[in-house]
Chain A
Amino acid sequence: MNNLLSRHAESIFWLARQVERANSTARILDVNESFSRNARGEHDWESVLRLHGDEQIFRATERRPTADAVIHFYVLDGENTNSVLSNISMARENARALRPLISTEMWVQLNGYHNRIKRLRKPDLRVENLNRLCSYIKECCQTHSGITAETLYRDESWYFHQIGRALERADQTTRLVDVKYQVLLPQPSDVGSPVDEAQWNTVLRSAAGFHAFRRVNPHSLSPSQVVEFLLFDKRFPRSVAASVLVANEHLAALRLKYGHNSKRAASNLLRKLTASLAEDTAEDLIARGLHEGLDEIQAELAGVTDALGREFFLLAEPDGTLQASIA
């Protein structure tokens, strides 16, 4: 059997990331909507824009960052490459290119998912319907994962899918933590207040981690415990540490089974990241500056993606030359 086409490896890596990104976007909108329902009433939706570094692009829409405008921007705005619609459209286009590899069931589901997102109208996006919409988006993303696990042939494409999903999830979880901690920077007087606790509670729930967190910490809920859990708990599947581990394991298995040993930059970066996550604690990280720490993790994850691109996707150098040897 031939090795996987580089283009297909890249497509399935991004397909997995795009679906996972839609999943996370839904979770972030959901959590932000929950915050906005808190005792203080009006809530700042601009925070979601800052979180993704999308303030400038949003400004181009010439709309005020109201709830409706931001929700539309992240769900249905085709001009916004981070919107659910954009991600699912790109995932579908990738799936179309991957049709010779993926199962028909994977294609049918993504195609239907895309068609339903495309058909969403204004009333579906109203704040009062947002929770239902976000649940629906999450569920479709999870269905994709399930069908993929059940039907995708376990060749290289499976590994690239898993690596892509894990890297995206790690990245998105750092952003989910950030939405609460950095952007909604608590007033000193709020720390430990019922409002603050309710918000941390919501963050955990949006990552589907509330009950697991409770089992680990039955008696208390402090910001550093939540950060510890979401970033470092290897048993929680959406944590950064668990996701980096998954990416690392799948990359190692890919190398072993398919003999990819010429370049190892991506593996080295992932190992370094795994080690630093293992050594770190939430307390230390918060003391050093959580936002900066999360930014650093994001940059390291981006470095892994670049290294994968150079090693496996055979992307041409900036001068157009191709650094690839004959197998």
Chain B
Amino acid sequence: MKERRPAGLLEGYDPGGFFCETFGGPKQPADHTRTVRDRLDGLSLAELRRRAQAAERELFNLGVTFTVYTSREQIDRILPFDVIPRVLSAAEWDTIERGVIQRVTALNRFIEDVYHEQRILRDGVVPAELVLGNANFRPQMQGLAVPFGSYVNICGVDIVRGGDGRFYVLEDNARTPSGVSYVVENRHLTQRAFPDLMRNIGVRSVSNYGQRLIGKLTELAAGIGEPPSVVLLSPGVYNSAYFEHVFLAREMGVPLVEGRDLVVRDERVFMKTTGGLQRVNVIYRRIDDDFLDPEVFNPQSMLGVRGLMRAYRAGNVVLANAVGTGIADDKAVYAYVPRIVKYYLGEEAILPNVETHICREGEGLEYTLEHLEELVVKPVGASGGYGILIGPHAGRKALAEFRRKLRADPGNYISQPVVQLSVCPTVTRSGIEARHVDLRPFAVTGRSTWVLPGGLTRVALRKGSLIVNSSQGGGSKDTWVLE
């Protein structure tokens, strides 16, 4: 008698012609995911759903949430968690890791140059007005040295995989990137909910992020304090990323402070404690430049510390990230990063950019207007997926309206072809379906750069959607890097 095997979980799964993180592409079958696939196939959809629900409930109870404030109340939301992991092979990770280190190294060299000699601007590799006229350029940083020339100490690089199976950088986040807490919490959740899925697979650990981070921050303070006093500066409980600030402070074992907890005296920074004022040497700040010091930047800021920039300029405190790194993650500067890599390191970029047209240049604008229905157009200043036009999904009216906007203010836009983002099997209401994903690895830099194995895989939970941001219906997945 033949034993009837129940239909596997992934049977009938259709990647819809996209490159699939679990199954690969037509020319690149993903052999490294075989064991995970087999194990997933052994689970029923009902079982998977049951465990997924338990996992999400646990996230909520633990308070792994971001907070949405309405005028009447605050609502704690979890970042929806999809239980099917995204699995990267050791070789794939090697490329990403080397690419990220190369990119962060080049961005740091670029920022140091811009705030000192400005060779790259004089050599005409990057248009000077693009940098010096940038809203995120901070003249206060000119001539100020930072330890090891390391400006971007924590960097999140947004990477996508195209239909060709190659990785491309979509965006750099060099100011205060967030999301790393989900990487660690997602892993803990998978370990609790799916021990059977992970057993003996050899997944690289992510749980030491806090230790690595404080190690790097301590490196930066060499000679300032022994051992240095490190704090994490948060805008406070009303910030949507407050949970992450709590998470990081706890993982590092350092005080989570707000601006009102700090004072500057004699160009030194102190925190207010029960024992009086205690010296602070390193501040991992999760507050934008604009709000850091009302004396220098936004005078209305209640979040910052009066006099902080004086202490910073006197070399009495380290800020991570350094002030003024926004010039490196600007969407217009992004277009030049491959040339920046080449200029400083004499190397080709290991991780290429997505082809980018700069609308401030006549040629780019012309091309963008001509091919608008094929392109993704992004405002250079905004974040979080707001104000983006996705040409192929836009109606005629929307396209016409956007054309007007583009002509009125071309300098504010860049355009890129639609990247056929790779997909990953995802639990949906109608079973296991393909959903688009991206990847944000986190690089931590002191004297050298370390990259957390994996990173945050964000998934667009709406069918067909390419927008993975949590503010717009995105969720996340655990990201496994195999040994």
Is A3 a contact partner of B62 (Cβ separation < 8 A)?
no
B448 at the interface (CB under 8 A from A): no
Tell me the bound Cα distance from A206 to B463 in angstroms. 58
Is B255 a contact partner of A2 (Cβ separation < 8 A)?
yes
- B243 proximity list for chain A (CB < 8 A): 99
Is A326 a contact partner of B265 (Cβ separation < 8 A)?
yes
Q: Knowing A2-B255, A7-B258, A99-B63 touch, does A312 contact B274 (C-beta < 8 A)? A: yes
Is A6 a contact partner of B263 (Cβ separation < 8 A)?
no
CB-nearest residue of chain A to B229: A2
Is A260 a contact partner of B274 (Cβ separation < 8 A)?
yes
A80 at the interface (CB under 8 A from B): no
A96 at the interface (CB under 8 A from B): yes
- B270 proximity list for chain A (CB < 8 A): 326
Is A156 a contact partner of B274 (Cβ separation < 8 A)?
yes
A221 at the interface (CB under 8 A from B): no
Determine which residue in B246, B249, B257 has the highest number of CB atoms from chain A within 10 A of its CB, and name it. B246
B302 at the interface (CB under 8 A from A): no
B194 at the interface (CB under 8 A from A): no
- A325 proximity list for chain B (CB < 8 A): 276-277
A228 at the interface (CB under 8 A from B): no
Is A327 a contact partner of B242 (Cβ separation < 8 A)?
no
Q: Knowing A93-B237, A100-B256 touch, does A3 contact B278 (C-beta < 8 A)? A: yes
Q: Knowing A108-B62, A326-B265 touch, does A5 contact B257 (C-beta < 8 A)? A: yes
Q: Knowing A100-B256, A104-B62, A112-B61 touch, does A4 contact B265 (C-beta < 8 A)? A: no
Is B276 a contact partner of A9 (Cβ separation < 8 A)?
no
CB-nearest residue of chain B to A160: B274
B261 at the interface (CB under 8 A from A): yes
Interface size, B (range):
20 to 34
CB-nearest residue of chain A to B62: A104
CB-nearest residue of chain B to A97: B237
- A327 proximity list for chain B (CB < 8 A): 273, 275-278
Is B271 a contact partner of A5 (Cβ separation < 8 A)?
yes
Tell me the bound Cα distance from A8 to B234 in angstroms. 14
Q: Nearest Cβ distance between residue B225 and chain A, in whole angstroms?
A: 12
* CB within 8 Å of A: which B226-270 residues: 229, 236-237, 242-243, 246, 249-250, 255-258, 260-261, 263, 265, 270
Q: Nearest Cβ distance between residue A129 and chain B, in whole angstroms?
A: 25
Tell me the bound Cα distance from A227 to B271 in angstroms. 46
Residues 1-22 of chain A, each 1 if its beta carbon lies under 8 Å from chain B, else 0:
0111111110000000000000
* CB within 8 Å of B: which A286-327 residues: 312, 314, 322, 324-327
Residues 345-375 of chain B, each 1 if its beta carbon lies under 8 Å from chain A, else 0:
0000000000000000000000000000000
CB-nearest residue of chain B to A326: B277
- A312 proximity list for chain B (CB < 8 A): 274
B447 at the interface (CB under 8 A from A): no
CB-nearest residue of chain A to B63: A107
B192 at the interface (CB under 8 A from A): no
- B260 proximity list for chain A (CB < 8 A): 7
Q: Which of B263, B265, B275 contacts A3 (CB under 8 A)?
A: B275
B166 at the interface (CB under 8 A from A): no
* CB within 8 Å of B: which A94-130 residues: 96-97, 99-100, 104, 107-108, 111-112
Q: Which of A96, A97, A100, A314 contacts B272 (CB under 8 A)?
A: A314
- A111 proximity list for chain B (CB < 8 A): 61, 63
CB-nearest residue of chain A to B237: A96
- A93 proximity list for chain B (CB < 8 A): 237
Is B62 a contact partner of A6 (Cβ separation < 8 A)?
no
- B276 proximity list for chain A (CB < 8 A): 3, 262, 324-327
Tell me the bound Cα distance from A111 to B258 in angstroms. 22
Interface size for A (C-beta < 8 A) is 30
Is A324 a contact partner of B277 (Cβ separation < 8 A)?
yes
* CB within 8 Å of B: which A278-292 residues: none
A194 at the interface (CB under 8 A from B): no
Q: Knowing A97-B237, A100-B255 touch, does A3 contact B61 (C-beta < 8 A)? A: no
- A4 proximity list for chain B (CB < 8 A): 273-274
Is B272 a contact partner of A5 (Cβ separation < 8 A)?
yes
Tell me the bound Cα distance from A96 to B273 in angstroms. 19
Q: Nearest Cβ distance between residue A90 and chain B, in whole angstroms?
A: 12
- A97 proximity list for chain B (CB < 8 A): 236-237
Q: Nearest Cβ distance between residue B275 and chain A, in whole angstroms?
A: 4
Tell me the bound Cα distance from A16 to B261 in angstroms. 21
Tell me the bound Cα distance from A156 to B275 in angstroms. 11
Tell me the bound Cα distance from A3 to B255 in angstroms. 10
Is B274 a contact partner of A108 (Cβ separation < 8 A)?
no
Q: Nearest Cβ distance between residue A256 and chain B, in whole angstroms?
A: 14
Determine which residue in A107, A322, A324 has the highest number of CB atoms from chain B within 10 A of its CB, and name it. A324
Q: Knowing A108-B62, A327-B273 touch, does A5 contact B255 (C-beta < 8 A)? A: yes
Is A6 a contact partner of B274 (Cβ separation < 8 A)?
yes
Q: Nearest Cβ distance between residue B258 and chain A, in whole angstroms?
A: 7
Tell me the bound Cα distance from A326 to B263 in angstroms. 11
Is B246 a contact partner of A100 (Cβ separation < 8 A)?
yes
Is B261 a contact partner of A5 (Cβ separation < 8 A)?
yes
Determine which residue in A8, A111, A327 has the highest number of CB atoms from chain B within 10 A of its CB, and name it. A327
Is B249 a contact partner of A100 (Cβ separation < 8 A)?
yes
Residues 300-315 of chain B, each 1 if its beta carbon lies under 8 Å from chain A, else 0:
0000000000000000
CB-nearest residue of chain B to A104: B62
Determine which residue in B261, B263, B273, B274 has the highest number of CB atoms from chain A within 10 A of its CB, and name it. B274
Interface pairs (22), CB distance under 8 Å: A2-B271, A3-B275, A4-B274, A5-B257, A5-B261, A6-B272, A6-B274, A7-B260, A9-B274, A96-B237, A99-B243, A99-B246, A100-B255, A100-B256, A108-B63, A259-B275, A260-B274, A322-B272, A326-B265, A326-B279, A327-B276, A327-B278
Partner-B contacts on A (CB < 8 A): 2-9, 93, 96-97, 99-100, 104, 107-108, 111-112, 156, 258-260, 262, 312, 314, 322, 324-327
Known pairs A324-B272, A326-B277 / 20 extra A-B pairs, C-beta < 8 Å: A2-B273, A3-B275, A3-B278, A5-B272, A9-B274, A99-B250, A99-B256, A100-B255, A111-B61, A111-B63, A259-B275, A260-B274, A260-B275, A314-B272, A322-B263, A322-B272, A325-B277, A326-B270, A326-B278, A327-B278
